[in-house]
Amino acid sequence: MQAPGAENVSSMGSVRSCGNVRGMHLGMRRPITLRAHITMDFQINPATLQGPVYFCSGTNKGIERTMIADGETSPARSAETGAFFDAIVVGAGFAGMYMLHRLRELGFSARVFEAGGGVGGTWYWNRYPGARCDVESMQYSFSFSEELDQQWNWSEKYAPQPEILSYANHVVDRFDLRRHIVFDTRVVSETFDEKAGCWLVETERGDRVHAKFLIMAVGCLSAPNRPNFNGLEDFNGPIYHTGQWPHQGVDFTGLRVGVIGTGSSAIQSIPIIAQQATALTVFQRTATWSVPAWNEKLTPEYLQAAKAEYPALRAKARARPTGFYFPFNTKPALEANPEEREKQYEESWARGGLPFLGAYGDLLFEKAANDTIADFARRKIRGIVKDPVTADLLCPDNVFGCKRLCVDTGYFETYNMPHVKLVDVSRTPIERFTAHAIEVNGVEYPLDAVVCATGFAAMTGSFDKIRITGRNGLTLSEKWRAGPRAYLGIASAGFPNLFMITGPGSPSVLASMIQAIEQHVDWLADCMGHMRDVGATSIEPILKDEDAWVEHVNEVSTVSLRSTCSSWYVGANIPGRPRVFMPYIGGFPVYVQKCNEVMNNGWDGFILEGAQDSNAAPRVRYTERWRVPLDIEVISPAAVAARRVPVV
């Protein structure tokens, strides 16, 4: 018996029974394990895997066989057992790579476990058509090495996924990090050994290794959200998820394609899929705000001029609320007359990208001000989309920028193409999949392939996949049952020497991610270096300080209009998740200032055990570059609410 659509999987022998076979395309280059409760005596030839790979779900009592989604085999290796490292890092995205670099500079022994077959994290997995960054390339890059800044040349204003992945591979090889990373290996369990004072880390490939420090570099958007639609297993065609796209790519030429979702990955991929498909049906639950990218090639002259000012640009970016620099108008929108606002919005629209939200200083804090930019954006959408019914469906009715603002190239124009159709599923959700269609409100939409652009279990999804057990048998999932709790988004009480890079309660997704990563890693490196200097055995947040920080994060979030809608910032895209605003909205430099104060005050809010000199001033190795004055010209109401800056 073969799974529908898996005709290219050759076998020898027979399969006598298979459990629930589901038609979800895994879209991975890394080894995948087919697990099913089956009786079988056949062999699979990975070299013949040309099409979609399906998986059987079951009780895991049958055979487990490893294969590669596009025909490459995983290198065999023996399980690593008994080894002890100073630090284990989980994840080899930008956070894991930079953490490893700092650990090696400090002379710590380290091992990185990465589930994928290469470095890059988000940019390793998200290979869907049109994937690219929404922060300008010159700032979406590491800033720790001026030589690296000067050596690497970005080709476009907004770098595409392949180029960002090439950059990640350049970094890992330039700094000789790859030999410390174990790929194709997913961590399944992390247990703190209270007697030994170290962490036991176990992987799905049988590794059992120990470390004093455990650093979670698992990313904020790395656990794909796969809705369990009725009849999913009945669909005969491939089903892809944008967050785990096949590495060999997908050709939709001649196919009827359905895209579920209209978030960032959909907005980037829909215009390209529409160029290939004979029919494209987009299923939209919530309309999304998007502004044009106006992407362009970067000329040698531009690169030369930008690199000459790189250090100054980096310094200015660190002082900005978002961690990256762009022109920002601090004047309130409501103090301008309608003609002035229209002119300002037109100029900001012409620049495009995320800086459009910087047209005025009060857009995310005053509803009446936000209404003015929302009305402008709706007029733009209606001016682009010719069919008025479709245009109305594409016009969001929520706060502009409440959910993450998207940046597009030709997204709204795509709906003018005769073979592209928009289906509203906000009031009448998708009812079921059939063999060849998706059914909504009794209407079948014939499809040959489906793309799930349904996002991620943001911020905590990757933590949920690992059983993390701290003191007294407490698991992190139990502690976070009502929402994530972490001091500074770095560590959680009850889990000694466990650190999180861009964890919940830090700016993370509300800042430029690479700068947020670098700041966390540098702070952690100084912390771990200090612990070695004074002989400390463990560090852990004090519960009352952790509680105070979580309360502060929630309190500050209410100042911003971002907290007023159901977004993945609060976990609203995952049924059953507690509604908690997870990132810190008080501003990146305000947060950095708090982290620096904690360090300067002898790790205020933390308990250091075993230190020979607990009052010793920390030696600042890496965080000096983050000790920049706040840019008072662009301080937001959220920063004022954070009680970190003077009210002027």
* The pLDDT of residue 379 is above 70: yes
Most confident of 480-484, 566-570, 600-604, 630-634: 600-604
Q: Are 439 and 320 members of one domain?
A: yes
Domain end marker among 432, 452, 472:
452
Q: Are 509 and 551 members of one domain?
A: yes
CATH (domain of 559)? 3.50.50.60
CA distances from 641 to 10, 231, 561, 605 (A): 62, 48, 13, 21
Residue 500 lies in a domain: yes
DSSP 386-402: SSHHHHHHHS--S-TTT
- pTM for the model stands at 0.86
Q: Are 407 and 258 members of one domain?
A: yes
Q: Are 466 and 426 members of one domain?
A: no
* Mean pLDDT, residues 580-595: 83
Q: Are 571 and 497 members of one domain?
A: yes
* The pLDDT of residue 264 is above 80: yes
Q: Which residue has the higher pLDDT, 152 or 29?
A: 152
Domain end marker among 452, 483, 500:
452
Q: Are 165 and 61 members of one domain?
A: no
Residue 2 lies in a domain: no
The dihedrals phi and psi of 198, each to the nearest 5 degrees, come to -145, 170
pLDDT for the residue 340 = 97
Query: pLDDT digits over 494-516, tens only?
Result: 999 999 999 999 998 788 889 99
Residue 99 lies in a domain: yes
Which range, of 58-67, 444-453, 567-576, 602-611, averages the lowest pLDDT?
A: 58-67
Domain end marker among 417, 452, 487:
452
Q: Are 109 and 184 members of one domain?
A: yes
Q: Give dist(CA 202, CA 216) in Å, integer.
A: 14
Q: Give dist(CA 562, CA 638) in Å, integer.
A: 11
Q: Are 120 and 243 members of one domain?
A: no
**Residue 455 neighbours by CB distance under 10 Å:** 24
pLDDT for the residue 313 = 94
Q: Are 388 and 507 members of one domain?
A: no
CA angle in degrees (0–180, nearest 5) for 175-179-182: 125
Residue 6 lies in a domain: no
Which range, of 209-223, 273-287, 542-556, 561-575, averages the lowest pLDDT?
A: 561-575
* The pLDDT of residue 61 is above 60: no
Q: Are 509 and 631 members of one domain?
A: yes
Residue 541 lies in a domain: yes
CA distances from 240 to 38, 110, 138 (A): 25, 35, 31
Residue 159 lies in a domain: yes
CB 492 within 8 A of CB 616: no
Q: Which two tokens stand for residue 108?
A: 């710590």
Q: Give dist(CA 98, CA 480) in Å, integer.
A: 27
The residue range of the domain holding 599 is 81-223+458-641
pLDDT for the residue 515 = 94
The count of structural domains within the chain is: 3
The dihedrals phi and psi of 608, each to the nearest 5 degrees, come to -105, 125
Residue 361 lies in a domain: yes
Q: Are 472 and 538 members of one domain?
A: yes
* Mean pLDDT, residues 329-350: 95
Q: Are 218 and 260 members of one domain?
A: no
* The pLDDT of residue 232 is above 80: yes
Average pLDDT of every residue of the chain: 84
Instruction: Return the percentage of the chain with pLDDT > 70, whole number.
Output: 81
Residue 444 lies in a domain: yes
Query: pLDDT digits over 185-225, tens only?
Result: 999 999 999 999 999 999 999 999 999 999 999 986 666 77
pLDDT for the residue 29 = 33
